Structure 1
Amino acid sequence: MKEKILKKREGFEGQQLIVVPKKIAADFLTKDPITRQLYITDIGYYPRARFHYVKRTVGVGQHIIIYCIEGRGWIEIDKKRIDVLPSQFIIIPSGMAHKYMSEEEDPWTIYWIHFKGDISAFIVELILQRAKNYKLHLTYNETRIRLFEEICLNLQKGYSGDNLRYVNMIFNHFLSSLLYEEKFNYSGKEQPDDVIAHTIGMMQERLDQVITLQELSGYAGLSISHFSAVFREKTGYSPIEYFNHLKIQKACQYLMFSSATVKEVANRLGVEDQYYFSRMFSKLMGMSPSEYRNRNKAVEQ
């Protein structure tokens, strides 16, 4: 009897999804001495993800971690079907065919990460040595969740070199909490606020608008030339370029989890010219918005 599967395309209430642009990976992550060792390509959180289903007949080019904190689901890998329960995580090696699904009556809540890097295969092997059928049990730990949330929070602030090093070094800590749970000890420390951080926060709140360099420098209380110099020193990018990165990050979410047309997505991000938006998206992501959407649809076929 053929398996009946319902698929959800519009996303899940309260979800998070961040995809690091291919250009950022190629220009920085694969070259920097720190990040090239181990780096995140995609990260997300799906709460109560009813009808969540993914099938990849040839796997993907990254390793995958799925950490279930409540509900139930299953994964099929290496010709084995494995039930996934709360406080369990699954590791899926790069290039391995798999499919997984949330249970309809008791849908899972999961944190998930795709990652690569020079030492990533070695890390996966260490995890597999401790796992049974690609699965490990973890005691729920709020500080581990905070690590995940801090990665997401900082990735949402953009792709400066320091930011990318920071989040991927946190990711190393996150992985150590999976591998060496008994040794895991985390003491969170807030990063100090500054004028650039405040300005980036304002950018995030106004992704649906057009903001001029003059407005940004005025918000920061600095001259345009001084603000631009300080911003580039802190982030590695000009203020407008950085703002566009944040817009494309949000565009990925619209394309992945809504049926909005490319023109509608552009309008939601304050870009009236659909073709300018498509060029901006293609430059950063390495493919057009339509190609990006179709690629993710194909993943779930």
Structure 2
Amino acid sequence: MERIIKKKEGFQGQKAIVIPKQVIASKCIKNEIINTLYITDIGYYPKARFHYMERASGAEQYILIYCHEGRGAVFLGHKEYKMVADDFIVIPVGAPHSYVADEKDPWSIYWVHFKGTASDKITSSIEKKGGLKGFIRFKEKSIGLFNEMYAQLEKGYSNDNLLCANMCLSYFFSTFLFNDKYDSSGKLEHKDAIDLSVDFLSRHTNSILSLEDIARQVNLSPSHFSHLFKRKTGLSPMEYFNHLKVQKACQYLLFTDLRIKEISQEVGIEDQYYFSRMFTKVMGVAPSEYRIKRVRS
């Protein structure tokens, strides 16, 4: 049975769950599916008047605090972070800190303590993107995932409940890492030059384009564009374009009777032998083999 935290301050509507250590040891740390990222504590404090916490030696877990409404402050090291509605902050494991609700307009906060082998990388990714403190505009998805995680853990600590809750946790963090790019409908907005170039490439998989052609679409020099593109995607522009061409070719192989030569032309490659080599390099099998294997499956 979960342990529910009862704060002396008495925040009306508060809720919290602390996962027992033996459950974490036996069902989270030892589970290869979720041991990279798992919840240790989770809760929601609405209108948390007089809320105050101090950990001079830091916490044993990483902590994410999302301020839904009101105001507060987080003191991390020698720095103060003012928190207002839709701000969030991640507190690294072992970092001395304290936090307090505003006296006149006390915050309502969702919070999660988490651990796992990927925790440090996730925290570092958030910090590199804009610092440990951030702001989210489209909170419905984040709150919905929080409620789903909480509801699963509230049912108890069966393997299924723990798996469901903790597999949601990665998605939950993605809404903080990438929230600046998606509106409440899930559509990408505020596109940068790389996002725009990817859209352009996706619409022109049937074309022959050079690096210069692509860079020109976003008004950047080829060298600067190539540097920005690889930093964001991990691939060069032409590698990325070839992957999109192969992805389109896979669809032709699966859903049409077009010959390999015809598919090669459909994805803007005149030399079918070059196309076959490129396809094999990306997919690990030749186009003809890919078609046969997929039909059998």
Band the TM-score falls in, shorter-chain normalisation:
0.5 to 0.7
Asked if 1:72 corresponds to 2:46, the answer is no
Please report how far the alpha carbon of residue 163 of structure 1 lies from its aligned counterpart in structure 2 after TM superposition.
1.2
Q: 1:148 to 1:108 in 2, by over 3 A?
A: same
Instruction: State the AA in 2 paired with 1:78.
Output: G
C-alpha distance after superposition, 1:23-58 (max 9, x if no partner): 100111001011111000000000000000000000
1:142 to 137, 140, 143: 140
Structure 1 equivalent of residue 47 of structure 2: 48
Q: CA deviation at 1:165?
A: 0.9
Q: CA deviation at 1:82?
A: 1.3
| Structure 1 residue identity aligned to 2:152 | N
Cα RMSD (Å) of the superposition? 1.6
Which residues in structure 2 correspond to 1:1-301 (within 5 Å)? Answer: 9-132=8-131, 134-181=132-179, 182-183=181-182
Question: Using CA pairs below 8 Å that are at least 6 residues apart, which structure has the higher relative contact order?
Answer: 1
Compute the TM-score of the two structures, normalised by the length of structure 2: 0.58
- The answer to whether the Cα contact below 8 Å between 1:69 and 1:140 also exists between their aligned partners in 2 is no
Amino acid at match of 1:160: S
Matching residue's letter, 1:89: F
Q: State how many pairs are aligned.
A: 179
Matched AA of 1:28 = K
C-alpha deviation, 1:9, in angstroms: 1.8
Counterpart amino acid of residue 23 in structure 1? Q
| Aligned-partner SS, 2:35 | helix
Structure with max Cα Rg: 2
TM superposition score normalised by structure 1: 0.57
Stretches of 4+ aligned residues off by more than 6 angstroms: 184-187
Distance 1:32 1:68 in 2: 31
Does the residue aligned with 2:11 lie in a helix, a strand or coil? Answer: coil
- Say if 1:78 and 1:131 are closer, same or farther in 2 by CA, change over 3 A: farther
Deviation, 1:143, is: 2.4
User: Gaps (5+ residues) in structure 2?
Assistant: 1-6, 187-297
CA distance in 2, matches of 1:177, 1:26: 28
Instruction: Tell me the percent identity.
Output: 45
CA contact (8 A) 2:141 2:175 kept: no
